[in-house]
Amino acid sequence: MRRALAALLLAAATRRAPAQHLLVPMDDAQQNHLKAYGLTYNALHAGAKGEWLLNYRGGSFLLPDTPELRRRAALDGITTEPVGDAALGAVRTEMAGGNMEAVPLERAPKIAIYTPPYASPWDDAVTMALNYAGIPYDTVWDDGVLRGDLAKYDWLHLFHEDFTGQLGRFYIAYRGAPWFADQERANLEAARAHGFSNIPALKKAVAERVRRYVENGGFLFAMCGATETLELAIAGANVDIAVSYADGTPIAPDADERMDWSRTFAFRDAHLETAELISSMSDIDGHQANVPGRRQPLGAFTLFAFSAKFDPVASMLVQDHRTVIPDFYGVTTSFSRRTLKPGVTILAEEPGAPWVKYIHGDYGKGSWTFLGGHDPEDPQHAIGNPPTDLSLHPNSPGYRLILNNVLFPAAKRKPLKT
Amino acid sequence: MRRLRSALRLSVLALALAGAGAGAARAQDADPLARAEALEEQQQWRAAGAAYRDALAKEPGSLGALLGLERVYDQLGARDSLMPYVDRALRLEPRDTGLRTLQLRTARYVGGRGAVRAAFESWRRAAPGDAAPYRAYARMLLAEGDAAAADTILAEAAATTGDARNFAYETAMLQAARGQWVAAAAAWREAATDRPYFAQAAVYSLTPAPVAQRDGVRRALAAPPAAAGARSVLASLELAWGDPRRGWEALRVLPPDSLRATVWRDFAQRAEAADAWLVARDALVAAATPTLDGPLFADAARDALRGGDARGADSIAALSASVMDSASAAALAVPVRVEALSVLGRGRDAERVAAAYAPYAAPEQRAAMARWVAWAWVRAGDLSRARASLEASGEDAGDAAGWFALYEGDLAAARRALAPERARSADELMAVAILGRTTKDRSTATGAAFLALARGDSAAAARQFALAAAELPDAAPLLLAQSARLEAARGDDRAAIAIWQRIVEQMPQSPEAPASDLAWARALRRSHQDAAAVARLEHLILNYPDSALLPQARRELDAARRAGASTS
């Protein structure tokens, strides 16, 4: 009733006077959810201020009503609604009475994607999402990370990289494939250029730089295999955790006992997979998609509803027009509950399953978010498959989770209410 | 009395049938395997399982019963319970390939990799020197994506059996799984040469080869001496990769043997399915030539016509008719030839051929040929001969009367005669659209434009449609859009853009305006003017927010922006 009244006021206001704000609804009224993030990001990038209306109509955005924003929205097929002061007042009244909160968006974060310079036979969902939404980003790889380039960025994304340096254990099935040989050569050259004897040593050093980046205030978002292997590389900084075809020696027999989980972001007490011909890193991944006999079927995961007023960060990360989303495989699909550290915030889980899908936490001055799986719109994505055409999925609830992460560093942090 | 006898006969028959049914049921009772299969058919899994076990109690080595039990246990989630039965059967027949393969499959479910390896070792010991255990185990590893382990097994196999050719199929699968496409093609060549039934698997395996690797695949499969199996694989690959002409080139050089004509005919069918009509024409002509196969020549002529080669269709159909009796020729070859002559505008020849075979043709074929003769005269530009020809044949003119009226500029008569619901081709749809859009009853230029189209003169048609816009102002945007389409199809984007610009700027409210914007943007992208194309697409999206073209325009806008960004 209250929402209907607000809509009525909104319509009346738009008839009478030019609006001062553009509401970008993010519920089912939105024609293109993914590009709406691009519209908001680019408005901030151009110096405008905005608001993220958490839990209001699917996590809508409020932007200034300018001809340029209207034009861009029209070109990209993004639904916007002009809102005058009176209508906005009604919206705010409605928000004040419910689990909703307006978070100011002040500055477009500077984005880096960790991506190798060679072509890989798989695609990065975040890169595709940013390209589709029209959000600019830089790319960094090992040279840049070791040079200290991460300090230039507010937000870092890691995708498919194996930070244990075992090249995803793709040696098992693809050791003769030209793309695998290219990857091995490029990584070995990078290792030697930086004075490391093998790839695992190089990747551990990179993982340590990433850890320090977050500790110093950076925002980290990782997906798929990067989540699990980053943690293993950090915990195993002083342990041989790589199989013999990666570094010439087998995994240390006492590796499990020697892992230092005190330095990791999310996980603890994981058990390393020491069998060299099993395509799995550890028992962190609940689904074990690449291990015949262990592979678990896909279900659906449910997003948690957080208090927008008291827990705005977690709320931002789960803004979506759907709360139940079909699961999707990846090298690391999910995270075993058993291996989660006590302080980790679970953002999404499969109810009743021994794994969770989407987690978040603070670390030092920064924060991290991990999402399992490879491509939200291609649940069985396999090596060599063509990339997903996001213009066919403009309302993807799974891809929205990725873009929530891109925008949340733009939010002005409020002191918590006590 | 007769009725009584008949009823008696029926009841005897019914008794006999009932007796037969009871007999079958008794036989089923006696045969537990048949009972198990019937129960499985009814999805009574537990009962079927019990019956299969009964069958195995009677005959422990029965592979049929074991396979049935495997299916049923799979449904019940109890595949591990199969192992004791397999083991017992193997004690009786330790070298049986079917039983051993079943043991491998079961081991995979029961004990994973270690158990499979143990089953393989046991098979290898039971059948020393036999290729089968290596082959089955390597295939299983490949199916699981473990190419490295499969490689090891195949190397062991070659060393143990002393003949690597025995494993050409598995080696080919292995190389393809690793992305070593050229090596895979070489292995498939060997496999398909020895066993032609592998050709399908080879095509399936090699189709994903990336473009950069395809020349290597081609060289491997086409290496001399030309082998029918390998060439057939290459031809199918070329079809799958979108180059039917190269596919035919691969097959054309096959040495003459009994297989060659069959391979060519099969390939022609697949080329037809891919709409590669002229390639199919060449393959059919080649297949038909050695035995002068008239019907096959007629098929080739039809494909030539579909592929736009009317001249070729005429000569092939003439050859086809010359090697068949008159009735067969009238049914198969002559209609194609008359249609080809019609397309060529050779009215006199079409009339002569149709008349010569008319006595042998069925009525519907005669009617079709009469219409083609009339259209031949239309294409020759002689409307009065076209009318006369149809009248002389006594056949139903159908829509022809409406078209003749249209060609003469009599829009009112054309409107009455041309039925919109029968319009199928692009020209027919355009004609009924124009007739529906204008209220005018005459337009010489419109008639001339359609006549030029019928004669295949698209340059004149484009000019005439542009002139017709002045005669029919209420249909001007439609006529101009048609003119622009023809100019673009002729490759004259400059002329087309000038017309689209006129529509967008001078007739912005017309339904053709957003479509013209889109076509204009596409022409700009063809000439790599991405920034200008972006401007056009933005104009379309912002000015026609309700147009059905918007989703497509937005996709093309994204593509144009990306292309612009990558070249700037």
**Concatenated DSSP letters for B68-99?**
HHHHHHHHHT-GGGGHHHHHHHHHH-TT-HHH
Per CB-CB distance under 8 Å, the chain A contacts of B146 are 172-173, 277
Q: What is the mean pLDDT of residues A235-254?
A: 92
In this predicted structure, the answer to whether residue A304 has a pLDDT above a threshold of 60 is yes
Locate A146 and state its tokens. Answer: 């070791």
Alpha-carbon span B266 to B232, nearest angstrom: 10
In terms of Cβ atoms closer than 10 Å to its own Cβ (0-12, 13-18, 19+), residue A227 is buried
Report whether B263 contacts B254 (CB < 8 A).
yes
pLDDT tens digit sequence for A6-17: 444 444 444 444
Q: Which residue has the tokens 């099935």?
A: A173
Q: Is the peptide bond preceding residue B225 cis, with omega within 30 degrees of 0?
A: yes
Range with the lowest mean pLDDT among A74-78, A122-126, B4-8? Answer: B4-8
Residue A95 pLDDT class (50, 70, 90 cuts): very high
Measured between CB atoms, which of B146, B180, B558 is closest to A173?
A: B146
Alpha-carbon span A2 to B565, nearest angstrom: 46
Measured between CB atoms, which of B112, B148, B550 is closest to A77?
A: B550
Contact A74 B545 (CB under 8 A): yes
In this predicted structure, the answer to whether residue A415 has a pLDDT above a threshold of 60 is no
Q: Quick one: pLDDT at residue A112?
A: 96
Give the SS3 label for residue B149: helix
Alpha-carbon span B504 to B501, nearest angstrom: 5
Alpha-carbon span A119 to A86, nearest angstrom: 53
Measured between CB atoms, which of B147, B178, B541 is closest to A74?
A: B541
Percentage of the residues of chain A whose pLDDT score is greater than 70 = 94
Which domains can be identified in chain A, with CATH numbers? Answer: 2-105 (no CATH), 111-410 (3.40.50.880)
Q: Count the Cβ atoms, other than its own, within 10 Å of residue B528.
A: 11
Higher pLDDT, A219 or A380: A219
What chain A residue is nearest to B537 in terms of C-alpha separation?
A75
What chain A residue is nearest to B110 in terms of C-alpha separation?
A293
Q: How far is A133 from chain B (nearest CA, A)?
A: 10
Residue A126 pLDDT class (50, 70, 90 cuts): very high
In this predicted structure, the answer to whether residue A71 has a pLDDT above a threshold of 70 is yes
Alpha-carbon span B279 to B266, nearest angstrom: 12
Q: Quick one: pLDDT at residue B258?
A: 62
Residues 61-120 on B with a CB inside 8 Å of A are 108, 112-113
| Predicted structure pTM score | 0.68
Q: Quick one: pLDDT at residue A258?
A: 96
What chain A residue is nearest to B140 in terms of C-alpha separation?
A292
Residues 200-239 on B with a CB inside 8 Å of A are 208
Give the SS3 label for residue B510: coil
Range with the lowest mean pLDDT among A100-109, A298-307, B376-385, B500-509? Answer: B376-385
Query: pLDDT per position in chain B (568 positions), as tens?
Result: 444 444 434 333 333 333 344 444 544 556 889 999 999 998 899 999 999 999 999 999 899 999 999 999 888 888 888 888 999 999 998 889 899 999 888 888 777 778 888 899 899 888 888 888 888 888 888 877 777 788 888 878 877 777 766 787 888 888 787 778 888 888 888 888 777 778 888 888 889 888 888 998 999 988 888 778 888 899 999 999 989 999 999 988 887 766 788 889 999 999 999 899 999 999 999 999 988 999 999 999 999 999 999 999 999 999 999 999 999 999 999 999 999 999 999 999 999 999 999 999 998 888 889 889 998 999 888 888 988 887 777 666 667 788 889 999 999 999 988 877 777 778 889 999 999 999 999 999 999 999 999 888 999 999 999 999 999 999 999 999 999 999 999 999 999 999 999 999 999 999 999 999 999 999 999 999 999 999 999 999 999 999 999 999 999 999 999 887 765 4
∠ CA B12-B13-B16, rounded to 5°: 90
Higher pLDDT, B400 or A210: A210
**Packing angle of the helix pair B32-41, B2-30 (nearest 10 deg):** 100
**Packing angle of the helix pair B363-379, B444-454 (nearest 10 deg):** 120
Q: Quick one: pLDDT at residue A382?
A: 75
Percentage of the residues of chain A whose pLDDT score is greater than 90 = 77
Report whether A229 contacts A163 (CB < 8 A).
yes
Report whether A292 contacts B142 (CB < 8 A).
no
Give Cα B342 distance to the centre of its chain. 29
Contact A391 B178 (CB under 8 A): no
Contact A173 B148 (CB under 8 A): yes
Give Cα B562 distance to the centre of its chain. 33
Q: What is the mean pLDDT of chain A?
A: 90
DSSP-derived letter for residue B496 is: H
Alpha-carbon span B133 to B124, nearest angstrom: 6
In this predicted structure, the answer to whether residue A316 has a pLDDT above a threshold of 90 is yes
Q: Which candidate in B80, B104, B109, B113 is best for mutational testing of the A interface (most A CBs within 10 A)?
A: B113
**Cross-strand bridge partners of residue A51:** A62, A104
Per CB-CB distance under 8 Å, the chain A contacts of B149 are 277
CB neighbours of B420 closer than 8 A, spacing ≥ 6? B432, B436
Q: How far is B137 from chain A (nearest CA, A)?
A: 15
Report the phi/psi class of residue B77: left, alpha or beta, with left for phi > 0 and alpha for psi in -120 to 50. Answer: left
Torsion, Cα B355 B361 B363 B369, to 10 degrees, reads -50
Alpha-carbon span A412 to A408, nearest angstrom: 9
Per CB-CB distance under 8 Å, the chain A contacts of B179 are 174, 176-179
Contact B180 A75 (CB under 8 A): no
Q: Which residue has the tokens 């199918």?
A: B236
CB neighbour burial string for B190-212, b if at least 16 within 10 angstroms, e if fewer: bbbbeebebbebbbebbeebeee
- C-alpha closest to that of A176 among B225, B149, B314: B149
Q: How far is A88 from chain B (nearest CA, A)?
A: 26
CB neighbours of A363 closer than 8 A, spacing ≥ 6? A211, A214, A215, A265
DSSP-derived letter for residue B196 is: G
